[in-house]
Structure 1
Amino acid sequence: MEKPGNFERCSVFETKMLLGSSDDGGLSGKEATKRLREYGRNELEEKRPPSMAERMLSQLMDPLIYVLLAAGGISVFLGERGDAVIIAAVVLLNATVGVIQEGKAQKALESLKKLTTRKALVRRDGKLSEMDAAELVPGDRVLLNAGQQVPADLRLIRSENMKVQEASLTGESVPVEKDAQYVASTGTPLGDRKNMAYMSTFVTAGRGEGIVTDTGMQTEIGRIAKMIHETPEEITPLQKRLGELGTFLSILAVGLCTILFLAAVWQKRDVGEMFLTAISLAVAAVPEGLPAVVTIVLALSVSRMAKVHTIVRRLPSVETLGAVNVVCSDKTGTLTKNQMTVRNLDGDREWLLRTFLLCNDARWGKHGIIGDPTEAAFLLYADKNARNGEKQSEQIRDAWKRIAERPFDSERKCMTTVHQNGMRTVSFTKGAPDIILENCTSYRDEMGVHPMGVSKRTWYMRRAEKMSASGGRVLGAAVKEGKDLSEKGMTFLGMAVLEDPVRPEVSGTVEEFRHAGVTTVMITGDHKDTALATARTLKIADSPSQCMTGSELDCLGDGELADKILEIRVFARVSPDHKVRIVRALKKNGGIVAMTGDGVNDAPSLKAADVGIAMGMSGTDVAKQAADIVLTDDNFATIREAVREGREIYANIKKTVIFLLSSNFGEIMTMFFAILFSFPAPLKASHILWINLITDSLPALALGTDICDGRELMKEKPRKQGESLFAHGGGVCTLFYGFLIALISLTAFLIVPAKLLASSGRQLTPAAVADVLQSPKLLACCQTYAFTVLGLSQLFHAIGMRDVEKSVFRMDHGGNPLMIAAVFIGFALQLMVTEQPALVAAFQTVRLNAGEWKTLLVLAAMPLFAHEMFIFLTHIFNPSKTAE
């Protein structure tokens, strides 16, 4: 059977004809079996999950990992098995953590399957029976009642006071009234298709019957599942920067090996020894501790964030939050409470409340209120101050027994119930204020009942319009004596304003985001006026020009949307694919986007965003599995803490990278200048690897886990997309300290030759130094000096790198005990290399006396002296920058 789409644009008769569903008994069993073979089971398809080997392999596809693996191979070649073991452990740790975080798309699909109901009430072969929902086929006739989940996409053919909660699919907070006779026009948004019921939504009131139009992956929820699957995983800004760094270091390592080896050949040095030294420098150029530091820093931040109600599902997303400059937030349940609340009763309060409680089908159950959220709001309003279990709503209903009713329908836009209190009988009506006012001949106020004149009716109409413009849902109420369901000649009582109130913490968070350079954008399935009113309350937007509907969005191409999107702050009546387009358009404009949400409809955009943030309490399993971060308290303000944590992490990782690279650059320049001036090598291959061991581990980790001033970081603008790790002076800092470390290391290397040449009256020239250092014993002493200063200077450098804008005397050293431990352990290890006989023999060093240690310590402390001098000069020329 060739099945057309767009059944919302077909009449009931056309739908029956197109789907071949008879009036008397639905499909025959034979035809249903045929269609089941043709369309497949009413289930969501599963993608084969990647194997463990495939997951592990994917974690190795990273430039920095390639460099580490090459460094590990070189270390084995040099006989440095300890270094190779460390590198292998780092790679294995990164891969293991990555594997644990994978598989989100598959889990999201599994959650989507759980959302589908397993049973359905179906007409087949003229009989009504309950069957497995997975066996439904297009053309089946399904009966729906209040409390049931819709088992497939249906074109309704009958509806009786039927309302469907579609918030998880469309984002609209209020249940949608369904009308089987409605016929949609071209381009009608999903949330306005009143003649359709979609898989996974819930019937909250009334009953109906529908013909299955789509099953499985062809349903709206199936389209979402497909979008989740097809949306590619985005790499985070940090991953991009580290990838670029890995590529750069790969080129640098190869270049160093080549240059130094060619220089050795040209200078007729020992080619074998220089080959080993060049390879050692290539290994030194790679900060093998960096991936481990990044992984550990992110893991520790996950533990901290868990304490503030944030669960991190994907480690790199924590750092990405620090770069976010746009937060796209779903309205219902995220910015608002997703709980209809009576904001105001405008009129005779006693009679108004009585009307809204009696003309009401909601009721208290064991686990809360059962029924339409709007009607439930009046029960909550009446019973919020209930004492001793005595609910006002129950007292009023007990006093006024319902004896007749006229259900709500979309044409009348009213509902009427008749109640008896003793000998008195009264009809109570609620509905659209304009409809009720037209049918009222009088009104009631605190002074009694009065005739309804034209001017008074106009006054009430304007008041209702004003209330509606504020974003609330307005209901009118009227009464009439006697058992009269005609809804004519009534007495107007007044109006009630209901709203889905904003969460109290959101307004302040939006304001703080604004100061931090983060734009908040609201994306919702609600109507434009309702969305804009909420946005105005939160100061997200202040004019209609900043609001765009899904229909307007459909009229724009991707390029046009990207050009206009920076002006828009509110998107209303949008569908799941609209949300993905919005996220992509923002990213095209350089945005690093965080998307919040809780519904099934949010899942594709959560996955498409740089950071997907799901609500843990009210959110669906689908949203949680598609997200990178889950807020366990559903508190929008928690995102602010997460953003601050992300900025702190990036600041720590950045200073760790600068420390490691400037230290390694110092090693490289020490060797480069020595070879350039034809000096003997100031360092042995073992010296280079040893220094790498003591500086690329604990000091780097101490910097990575340092405590930053998060409040100051939140006053800064987010870093720009593509911003280098060396921006804002990072590159200059790396080069300066690298050259300084090289200078003091070479100075230490030349101390002894300079004294000898000065005592003999000879000039300090490269040739003279090379001549003096022909003595192996003297060369070993000079290399020990250079080795010691190079290692210790990097430890001093680590202390200053904690904060390049604050004096070491004003830092809170007690706040980073790991740095204290790292420095003491580093000093102890370096001392052992020159004092412990076995290590002295292994590293071919010489023992040093107290005077030598004093001189070398002064030289090694130069990076810290330079740090203090920089702070002093900054204070002189820019005192505001160093002020507390």
Structure 2
Amino acid sequence: MRRLIKNEDGWNVTGDPTEGALIVAARKLGFAQEELERLYPRIAEIPFSSERKRMTTVHKTPQGEVYAYVKGAPEVILERCSRILEGGVERRLTAEKKRAVLKINEEFAEDALRVLGMAYRRLDAPKKRYTEKIESDLVFVGLMGMIDPPREEVKDAIRLCKKAGIKPVMITGDHKLTAVAVAREIGMLENGGLVLTGEELDRLSDEEFEKIVEDVKVYARVSPEHKLRIVKALKKKGHIVAMTGDGVNDAPALKNADIGIAMGITGTDVTKEASDMILMDDNFATIVNAVKHGRIIYDNIRKFAFFLLRCNFDELAVIATFAILGMPLPLTAPMILWINLVTDGGPATALSMDPPMEDVMARPPRDPKQGILYGRILQIIISFISQYLGTTFVFLLVYKYGFFAWGLSETERLMKAQTMCFVQATLRELVVVWNCRSETKSAFKLSWTSNKFLLVAEAVSILSSILIVYVPILRMMFGTTPLGIYEWLLVGSIASLGFLWMPEYLYEKRVFKWV
């Protein structure tokens, strides 16, 4: 129920904003809602709907008479009027007077005003039930124009939509001229575009509508059935469609859309049940903000999966290779567990909290058919091969050929080789993670300090790896041995090769037709 309420912050309107505007206008003219409701009690109502485009209430006057008061779209109200109130006198509504009223209506609409037509009819004695029959032979009273200004943030949201490859479309029950004026104000018709009314849409066949549906930017005077038709036509063209709605009859369109969005403030329970998402503040800019955050979340999920797949297959391949050859394994079980759980875990988690890239809302929507690793298979393969070769090279160099292990026994040489392989694998993964943050930019083109979580994860992983190499109790648990400066330089140099696999040169490059 709409009400005008006074509190510490001043006057506020609850309920439907259009009804609220009428109550405020009446109050400014000296008519209090509570007093009118007492003197003219409502005894019946024929509610508004998008199809009818009008609403009627039946009231009893202090003199005992019964009146029906009707408001709605001016052209709809005028069609049901036979007389007009002029100077307090009811006169015949001629075609000329009707044209004059419609002309004023258009002038209001061109100024972006939402216009309501008002009429009444005197009825006989009260009845138990009233039908639409009372909405005929009305007396036209006048027009009420009100402005529903778009929120300041809507213009920026529309601009951001276009930049992000999202096409916003206005669907309204308002007059065509009102819709066009508002659309121009918020930047929806800057580069042209078609404007269709519900009546014009009804005259088009499905085939004719599908040919132009992608060019239509504004729909005016439409009904919920038109919304459903628009959704189906856009989906048939291969678009991902999000549709907003608040009325009960909007539910089918929301249900058929890829993303149905119900209004949290003005939306009905039926609409909310049919929707996929409820907009708690009824603000279009919030939808755009949700798209932005959705892209950020999806990007970070991709980074997380990409990093883990780049770093884990090589260990399996190394272990399998040396097991098949009957040679000692380059990595022990505790080392593998540490790499997978600690060295990988911290940076991977930090990637899920990576700040958004600058172009997150400057690129078109992704193809829904694309997998989560789209465009990155070649990078995964190269990382796998280089990591495999790096670990194998270090192990054979130290264990097989005795480099950095002069004068050591075979057991000591094996321990040294495994330690160097462990450190090399750990450092490589801590290097590779920096090139997992963007699809098109390498670590050298991004800020090194923008993700504080990643810096902490890297520091913890490096420090813990050093402790495993030098703390006696940890050395005993992991089977490691201390390394000298030259050994660190060798494994560090090999690990740093991970910086070379830059995403800007490898993204979307195919190895085979299907990869």
Sort the TM-score into its range (normalised by shorter chain): 0.5 to 0.7
Return the alpha-carbon distance in structure 2 between the equivalents of residues 634 and 660 of structure 1: 40
Q: Tell me how far apart the structure 2 counterparts of residues 430 and 830 of structure 1 sit (CA, whole Å).
A: 95
1:722 paired with 2:369, answer yes
**Residue identity in the other structure for 2:97:** L
Q: 1:568 to 1:833 in 2, by over 3 A?
A: same
2:475 to 833, 840, 844: 840
Q: Which runs of 5+ in 2 are unaligned?
A: 1-39, 61-66, 119-140, 507-515
Distance in 2 (alpha carbons) for counterparts of 1:668 and 1:730: 20
Distance 1:700 1:548, change over 3 A: farther
**What's the CA shift for 1:430?**
10
Q: Give the structure 1 partner of residue 16 of structure 2.
A: none
Q: Contact 1:792/1:830 (CA < 8 Å) preserved in 2?
A: no
Once the two structures are superposed, the pairs formed by residues 29-178 of structure 1 within 5 Å of their partners are 164-166=47-49, 170=50
Say whether the 8 Å CA contact 1:146–1:204 is kept in structure 2.
no
Cα pair distance change 1:683/1:759, threshold 3 Å: closer
Deviation of the 1:626 alpha carbon: 4.3
Separation in 2, partners of 1:564, 1:637: 27
* TM-score (norm: length of structure 1): 0.42
Cα offsets for 1:765-810 (capped at 9, x unmatched) = xxxxxxxx99454333322322221122111222333346556466
Inter-partner Cα distance in structure 1 for 2:203 and 2:301: 42
- The SS at the match of 1:592 is coil
Write the distance in 1 (CA, Å) between the matches of 2:80 and 2:71: 21
Q: Is the CA contact (8 Å cut-off) linking 1:790 and 1:860 kept in structure 2?
A: yes
From 176, 191, 198, the counterpart of 2:52: 191
The residue type equivalent to 1:642 in the other structure is: A
Residues 567 and 725 of structure 1: is their aligned pair in 2 closer, same or farther, counting only changes over 3 Å? Answer: same
Alignment check: 8 A CA contact 2:105 2:143 kept: no
CA distance 1:465–1:165, shift in 2 (3 Å): closer
For residue 510 of structure 1, what is the aligned residue in structure 2? 158
605 and 566 in structure 1: CA distance in 2 versus 1, 3 angstrom threshold: same
Correspondence list, 1:321-470, <5 A? 411-412=80-81, 414=83, 416=85, 427=88, 435=95, 437=97, 463-464=103-104, 467=107, 470=110
Please name the residue that 1:787 is paired with: 422
Q: Secondary structure at the match of 1:756?
A: coil
In 2: Cα distance, 1:687 partner to 1:549 partner? 69
- Distance change (3 Å), C-alpha of 1:560 and 1:623: same
Deviations 1:70-120 (A, max 9, x none): xxxxxxxxxxxxxxxxxxxxxxxxxxxxxxxxxxxxxxxxxxxxxxxxxxx
Residue 491 (structure 2) pairs with residue 822 (structure 1)? no
Alignment partner, residue 497 of structure 2: 862
Alpha-carbon shift at residue 678 of structure 1 (Å): 6.7
Q: Helix, strand or coil for the counterpart of 2:88? A: strand
Residue number in structure 2 paired with 1:591: 239
8 Å CA contact 2:231–2:257 kept in 1: the answer is: yes
Contact kept in structure 1, 2:71 and 2:117, CA below 8 Å: no
Report the counterpart of residue 393 of structure 2 in structure 1: 747
| Secondary structure class of the residue paired with 2:261 | strand
Verify the 8 A CA contact 2:169 2:217 in the aligned structure 1. Answer: yes
Judging changes above 3 Å, is the alpha-carbon distance between structure 1 residues 512 and 413 closer, same or farther for their aligned structure 2 residues? Answer: farther
Cα pair distance change 1:146/1:679, threshold 3 Å: farther
Q: Structure 1 residues 537 and 428 mapped into 2: Cα distance closer, same or farther (>3 Å)?
A: farther
Shift in CA distance, 754/499, structure 1 to aligned 2, threshold 3 Å: same
TM-superposed CA distance for 1:655, in Å, is: 1.9
How far the C-alpha of 1:706 sits from its partner, in A, is: 0.9
Matched AA of 1:164: P
The 1:616–1:461 alpha-carbon spacing in structure 2 relative to 1, beyond 3 Å, is closer
- Residue 841 and residue 562 in structure 1: after superposition, are their counterparts in 2 closer, same or farther (change >3 A)? farther
Question: Normalised by the size of structure 2, how large is the TM-score?
Answer: 0.67
Structure 1 residues 662, 464: CA separation in 2 closer, same or farther (over 3 Å shift)? same
How has the CA–CA distance of structure 1 residues 759 and 507 changed in structure 2, closer, same or farther, with 3 Å as cutoff? closer
What's the CA shift for 1:703? 0.8
1:635 aligned partner: 283
Whether the 8 Å CA contact 1:409–1:415 is kept in 2: the answer is no
User: Any conservation in 1 of the 2:72–2:117 contact (CA below 8 Å)?
Assistant: no
Given that 2:72 and 2:116 are in contact with CA atoms closer than 8 Å, whether structure 1 keeps it comes out as: no
**Is the 1:510–1:540 contact (alpha carbons within 8 Å) kept by the matching residues of 2?**
yes
CA deviation vs aligned residue, 1:401-430 (integer Å, no higher than 9, x gap): xxxxxxx9864355538xxxxxxxx52679
Alpha-carbon distance, 1:681 to partner: 3.3
For residues 530-679 of structure 1, the aligned pairs below 5 Å read 531=179, 534-535=182-183, 538=186, 540=188, 547=196, 549=198, 552=201, 565-571=213-219, 575-576=223-224, 579-580=227-228, 582-671=230-319, 674=322
Aligned length: 433
**Distance in 2 separating the partners of 1:643 and 1:553:** 32
CA distance in 2, matches of 1:788, 1:514: 48
CA distance in 2, matches of 1:430, 1:667: 93
Of 730, 733, 737, the match for 2:379: 733
Residue-by-residue CA offset, 1:644-697 (whole Å, 9 max, x unaligned): 222222222222221111112332343455567775432344433321101442
1:532–1:544 Cα contact (<8 Å) kept: no
d(CA) in 1 for partners of 2:344 and 2:493? 23
Aligned residue for 2:57, secondary structure, equals: strand
**Distance in 2 of aligned mates of 1:501 and 1:431:** 36
Cα deviations across residues 719-764 of structure 1 (Å, max 9, x unaligned)?
122123333x42222222222222222222222145438999xxxx
Q: CA deviation at 1:700?
A: 1.0
Q: Deviations over 1:37-91 (max 9, x none)?
A: xxxxxxxxxxxxxxxxxxxxxxxxxxxxxxxxxxxxxxxxxxxxxxxxxxxxxxx
Aligned residue for 1:861, secondary structure, equals helix
Shift of 1:821: 1.5
Distance verdict in 2 for CA 1:431–1:612, change over 3 Å: farther
Note the alpha carbon deviations across 1:437-474, whole angstroms, 9 max, x for none: 37xxxxxxxxxxxxxxxxxxx9x589547527737567
1:798 counterpart residue number: 433
Letter in 2 for 1:165: F
In structure 2, the CA distance between the partners of 1:860 and 1:733, relative to structure 1 (3 Å rule), is same
The 8 Å contact of residues 662 and 738 in structure 1, kept in 2 or not, is answered as yes
Task: Please say if residues 357 and 438 of structure 2, whose CA atoms lie closer than 8 Å, have aligned partners that are also in contact.
Answer: no
Whole-Å Cα distance in 1 between the matches of residues 495 and 197 of structure 2? 62
**CA offsets 1:158-208 (integer angstroms, 9 cap, x no match):** xxxx76333xxx3xxxxxxxxxxxxxxxxxxx436x8xxxxxxxx653269
CA distance in 1, matches of 2:81, 2:324: 93
CA-based RMSD of the aligned residues comes to: 4.7
Tell me if 1:697 matches 2:366.
no
1:835-866 C-alpha deviation (Å, 9 max, x unpaired): 444443443444434443343233223213x2
> Which of 682, 686, 693 is the aligned partner of 2:330?
682
Equivalent pairs: percent with the same residue?
A: 33
Question: 1:699, CA displacement in angstroms?
Answer: 0.8
* 2:47 partner SS: strand
Q: Distance in 2 between matches of 1:191 and 1:659?
A: 57
Task: Report the residue type matching 1:191 in the other structure.
Answer: R
Q: Secondary structure at the match of 2:437?
A: coil
| Aligned amino acid, residue 490 of structure 2 | T
Shift of 1:578: 5.0
Residues 228 and 256, structure 2, Cα contact 8 Å, conserved in 1: yes
1:715 Cα deviation after fit: 1.8
Q: Secondary structure at the match of 1:591?
A: coil
Per the alignment, residue 30 of structure 2 pairs with: none
Distance 2:487 2:405 in 1: 18
